[in-house]
Structure 1
Amino acid sequence: MRAGELIEAFWRTANARDWDGFGRLLHDEVIYEVPQTRERLRGRANYVEFNQTYPGNWTATVTELFDQGAKGMSVVDFRVDDAAETGISLFEMRDGLIARITDWWPTPYDPPQRKTDKIERY
């Protein structure tokens, strides 16, 4: 599966809260990072939990998608409750699965309080 197909499935399953389907798209050793908040997660189960516990009623609508085979990027209109943000996600694939995700959020923010202890700060 090419990067673009995996990225489309990633956002579709996340919006549907299909956590089993979402998890099947991720490499066992997936790494997720947000450079501006210095958050990092390692491993499929931790990253799924991170998304399951994101507070508020949120959706992400893909507005742009770039596919370069083993790498890709999405730009999303991310809405949570009454707030809207633009998110830029860089994806790297390995063994046909998403192995690394780096999220960039143009608007500075502090990460929300979470109900998970899986987040590393670096």
Structure 2
Amino acid sequence: MESTEVVRRYWSSVWSRDWHAVGQTLAEDVEVFWPVTREIIRGRDNMVAVNSEQPNGWSIDVLSIHDAGDVVVSEVQVPQEDVGIFRVVSFWTVADDVITSGREYWTMYGGEEGRDWRRKYATVGDPPS
């Protein structure tokens, strides 16, 4: 199976809350790092638990998935009721049809103001679809 398909299956399984299927996309000793919070999630069971115990009211929109040679890069949007919209850029390593490691950058969409000095160079808005 292509590495991009493994990542698609992962996101699809998370979205459908099929925790058994999520586990099947992850290596037993998977390690995922979240640099923004400096959290490291080690092991399939912990990664499934992090996803399954997230309070409900969220969905997942896969924006893009790209094969980047040794890694697969995905960008997803995660709207969550009463919280806002998260954007997640993930770098996944896939081997033997499972995700073996990842680095995920979770951020609140529009959650920070641009710097004052850049205002003369940039506008605030959403990119065209």
Q: How far does the alpha carbon of each residue in 1:18-75 deviate from its partner, in whole angstroms, 9 at most, with x for none?
A: 0001100100110011001011111111110111111231111111110135420111
| 4+ residue runs over 6 A deviation | none
Q: Write the letter of the residue equivalent to 1:54.
A: Q
2:94 maps to 1:86: no
Percent of aligned positions with the same letter in both sequences?
28
Number of aligned residues: 109
Q: Give the TM-score, by structure 2 length.
A: 0.77
Q: Which runs of 5+ in 1 are unaligned?
A: 110-122
Answer yes or no: is the 8 Å Cα contact 1:3–1:70 preserved in 2.
no
2:10 maps to 1:26: no
Question: What is the root-mean-square deviation of aligned Cα atoms in Å?
Answer: 1.7
3-state secondary structure, aligned to 1:58 = coil
Name the structure where strand makes up a greater proportion of residues.
Answer: 1
Answer yes or no: is the 8 Å Cα contact 1:27–1:44 preserved in 2.
yes
Bigger relative contact order (CA 8 A; separation at least 6):
1
User: What's the counterpart of residue 99 of structure 1?
Assistant: 100
Counterpart CA distance in 1 for 2:48 and 2:107 is 24
Q: Which runs of 5+ in 2 are unaligned?
A: 113-129
Counterpart CA distance in 2 for 1:15 and 1:84 is 15
